[in-house]
Structure 1
Amino acid sequence: MKALVDLSGKRGLVVGIANGHSIAAGCAQTFRDCGARIGATYLNEKARPSVEPVADALGAEWLVPCDVREPGQTEALFERVEREWGSLDFLLHSIAFAPKEDLQGRVVDSSAEGFATAMDVSCHSFLEMARRSEPLMHGGGCLLTVTFYGSERVVEHYNLMGPVKAALESATRYVAAELGPKGIRAHAISPGPIATRAASGIDRFDEMLDRAAAAVPERQLVTVADVGALAAFLVSDAACRITGTVIPVDSGQHLLA
C-alpha cells in the first residue's frame, strides 16, 4: 500500500499512547507507515505493560516515562530527544486529564483544584512541550494536539473538558503565531467520538457514540486511522503553509447543531 505522504527522515515524538486503540497509537502507526522515525512515552510504570508492546510493534526507537504532573519528567523527556536525535521535526500531544469527581459533575461545581489540574495536564502541558520543542526544531516543524468539538458547543456529559479544550484551541493559535517566524506550525485536530480509554472516563460515553453514529452526515464514526491520516498530512511538507487551525475529522459532526 502506498504511503499517504512521505515522512522519510522525519523524527517525531508521540506523547499519549495508552494502548493500541488510542488516538496517539493510530497516529504513530501512520507516521511510521509514511517513513517517520518515532519516539514515544508512557504515563507511569502501571501503564508501561500496556504501552510497551504497542511501541515495539510501531518500531519506536525509544520509550520513556512522562507524567506531566511529576516535576522534571517533561524536561527529562526533551533531554532524551536531544540526546538521541539532536533535533525534532514534529510532536503529537495527545494527553488530557481531569479528576473524576470534577469531570462527572457540573462545570459550575468543579473545584478550583480540579479545574487547575485539568488545565495543567490538558492545556498547559502542550505549551510546555511547544517551548521545549522550539530549540530542537532547527529547520521548522509541526506541533499537533488533540481537541473535541465540546470546546465550542455544549456536549452532554463532556462537562469540565469543554472549557479546557477551548483553552487548548486558543493556545494552539497563539503557539502558531509566536513560533511561525521559525517555521514551526501548530494545529489542533478535532476527532469525532472514538471509543478510547481516555473517553471512557466521560459519563455515558457509549450513548454519545451511538447518537453520533446515527446522526453524522456520513453515518459512521471515525477511527484512529482516520485521525492518523490527517496528522500525517499536517506534519508533512505538503502542509508547510498551513498553520494555526482546528481541523475536524468527524464524519461531518461539526456541521450539526
Structure 2
Amino acid sequence: MLNNKKGIIFGVANDHSIAWGIAKKLSEKGAEIAITYQNDIFLKRVKPLASKINSTFLIECDFNKADSIEKTFNIIKTKWGKIDFIIHAVAFSDKNDLNGRYIDTSKENFLNSLNISCFSLTKIAKLSQPILNNGASILTLSFYGSKKVIPNYNVMGVAKAALEASVKYLSVDLGSNNIRINAISAGPMRTLAGAAIANAREVYKYTEENSSLNRSVLLEEIGNSALYFVSDLSLAVTGEIHYVDCGFNIIGIPKKKL
C-alpha cells in the first residue's frame, strides 16, 4: 500500500509512543521512514526502535532550536529529494502546569507549550513545501482535551485546540498544492507525554469504563488510522479531526452514572 513512499516522523520517544505505533504500521505496508530525535538521550531509545523497521535515517531535531526544523528538511532534501508524508507527533508542557488549575499557568510555559505543541506544525507545513510530492499527506495528533475540560490537562488542552484550528486553516493553504493535512484525536494512552499529567491513571480508567467499546485504544489501531490518512485511500480527505478513542468522545452521560 505504501511501497515507494517515503516520509518523516517527528516524535518517537519510546516503544509506547503513538508515533512508534504509526511508524511500525507504515513500515509494515512498505514505507521508508526517517525518524527524528531530540537529543542524544532520546537517540539511545530511538535507535533500537528504528532498527526494528530497518530505518537508518535518523535526524536530530530539537523544536526548542529556531533553525532545527529547517535543517532537518535540508537533510531530507539532500538524501531523498522529496517525500510523501509527514507525521507530527510532538507536544510539550512543563509538568508543573499539568497539575492543578489552568489559571495558574505561567506565561513562559504557555508560550513554550503553544510553540512546541502547535506552532511547530505550521512551521513544518511551510518549510516542507519544497520537498513534498504532489498528493502528499501531513498528519498530526490531538486529544479530546481540546474540546472538553480534562482535569489537569490545562494548557495542553488550549494547545491542542489551537492545533486543531491550525489543521483546518492549513488545509486550505495546502490544498492548492494538492497536499492534505489531518489530525487523529486518540484516546488516552500510557505514553511518556501522558505520564506527565497528574492523575493520569484515573483518566485511563474512566475512559476505559465509559467509552462505547468499554476499553482503551491500542497503538496498532491508531497506526491503522494513520495508514488510511497517509495512503491514497484518503486522497479526498483533508482538514479533518478523526477520533480513535473507542467512542469515548460521543458519550454525554455514561449509562453507569445513571
The bucket for the TM-score relative to the shorter chain is over 0.9
Equivalent residue number for residue 121 of structure 2: 126
Structure 1 counterpart SS, 2:138: strand
Query: 3-state SS of the aligned residue for 2:126?
Result: helix
Give matches, 1:1-257, under 5 Å: 6-257=1-252
Which structure 1 segments of 5+ residues have no match?
Answer: 1-5
Q: Give secondary structure in 2 for the equivalent of 1:83.
A: helix
| Superposition CA RMSD, Å | 0.9
User: In structure 2, the residue corresponding to 1:96 is in which secondary structure?
Assistant: coil
2:78 and 2:54 mapped to 1: Cα distance? 19
Structure 2 residue aligned with 1:3? none
Distance in 2, Cα, partners of 1:44 & 1:176:
31
The alignment-based identity, stated in percent, is: 36
1:181-217: per-residue Cα shift (whole Å, max 9, x none)? 1110000100001111111000010111011111111
Unaligned runs of 5+ in 2: 253-258
Count of residue pairs the alignment pairs up: 252
8 Å contact from structure 1 (residues 37, 61) kept in 2: no
Contact 2:37 2:46 in 1 (8 A): yes
- Residues in 2 aligned to 1:8 and 1:190: alpha-carbon distance in whole angstroms: 26
Instruction: Return the alpha-carbon distance in structure 1 between the equivalents of residues 230 and 153 of structure 2.
Output: 29
Secondary structure at the aligned position of 1:193 is classed as coil
Shift of the alpha carbon at 1:47?
Answer: 1.3
> What's the TM-score, normalizing by structure 1?
0.96
Q: Counterparts of 2:26 and 2:133 in 1: how far apart (Å)?
A: 20
Q: Is the 8 A contact 1:88 1:133 kept in 2?
A: no
- Cα deviation per residue 1:148-189 (whole Å; 9 max; x = unaligned)? 011000111211111110000000111111110111000010
Normalising by structure 2, report the TM-score: 0.95
